[in-house]
Amino acid sequence: MLNHRFFFLWTLLAVLSASCGSSSQDHPASTKAVAYRNPVVRASMPDPTVIRAHDGYFYVYATEDTRNVPIMKSKDLAEWTYAGRAFTEEGRPSFVTGGGIWAPDINFIDGQYVLYYAMSVWGGEMTCGIGVAVSPAPAGPFADQGKLFTSDEIGVRNSIDPCYVETDDGKFLVWGSFHGIYAAPLSEDGLSLAPGAVEDKVRLAGTAFEAPCLEKHGDFYYLFASVGSCCAGINSTYRTVVGRSSSIWGPYVDKEGVSMVDNGYTVLIGPNEAFVGNGHNAGIVRDDAGQDWILYHGIDTGHPDGGRYLLLDPVQWDVEGWPYIEGGSPSTAARPLPVFTAR
């Protein structure tokens, strides 16, 4: 992971490498970028989560060196600039003492920005857990609200990788890492577990998965997740996979009808010669032209020591309503930018 001292330099390099043109604020409109090329951030930005804030910018949050959560912002999902860090050193969650901050999940709930995060150390499957912080602004700083639960309290080993879900039935947290994907009800403000949540938790998927991301599209709920090894450099086998259900509570099945509880899945993003270890996606973002997009991390095979870079690709939907990425792996050629006209 990058340390704090070098993150600014890496961010500058990311901006220069991600853009195929310059901002219209600096040059005539005719030179404005119309395309992008992966990676959109050539710096380590694992486990991305994204939100479009009220100021019109997209903000992406990621795992960095586990001391904090770096934040970048963009108007178009492709050209990113550094925006800050989620926590001040003094405001770093006390819950994570002895561990690291992993896998953030950003949301806007009841008038404030709510950041769920995982606390973990390698091998600490029963002591890790999930906490929550809030801020009036997307770039923070976030005020920690403490832990939601630890693995031993909720009864699920390796309780990391949170994903917030809100439906007409209430607010829920989905989470899990290779010991089952679970969902449990949250309080009305989303800042704590609901009474009885330990007993009311529901298993959505089996032990093959981590990094859940639950999305509604059409008549189905889609459970995106990752399988394989995330962090073995050029040998990483991470892939983004998906299953779907007509009910938020499942059963989620793959294209062949195999339940995700039984570790069935359909691969969405696999490896290619340019990028491996492609996973832990953010939620689906729809642009103003109606095109869906997905952000996720991957390892550049030409620079395997650079960390997990931020990648972007359009999501298509087949005639049966299943999502797919053109070619089944990260794009490497220049692609048209997402369309965002409203500012």
**Residue that has been written with the tokens 């053109």 in this structure:** 326
Phi, psi dihedral angles at 45 (to 5 degrees): -135, 65
Query: Which of 76, 105, 125, 210 is an active site residue?
Result: 210
- Burial grade of 30 (CB within 10 A; 0-12, 13-18, 19 or more): exposed
What is residue 94's three-state secondary structure?
A: helix
Q: Which residues pair with 72 in a beta bridge?
A: 60, 82
User: What secondary structure letter does DSSP report for 95?
Assistant: G
Residue 254 in contact with residue 197, Cβ under 8 Å? no
Residues 6+ apart with CB under 8 A from 302: 274
Residue 47 in contact with residue 318, Cβ under 8 Å? no
Longest dimension (CA), the chain: 60
Residue 253 in contact with residue 242, Cβ under 8 Å? no
- Burial grade of 173 (CB within 10 A; 0-12, 13-18, 19 or more): buried
Residue 76 in contact with residue 56, Cβ under 8 Å? no
Query: Which of 47, 79, 215, 313 is an active site residue?
Result: 47
Q: Which residues pair with 225 in a beta bridge?
A: 241
The answer to whether residue 79 is catalytic is no
Which structure tokens are listed for 228?
């394989």
Residue 118 in contact with residue 89, Cβ under 8 Å? no
The answer to whether residue 153 is catalytic is no
Task: Provide the edge-to-edge strand list for the sheet that holds 81-85.
Answer: 49-52, 58-61, 70-74, 81-85
Active site residues: 47, 210
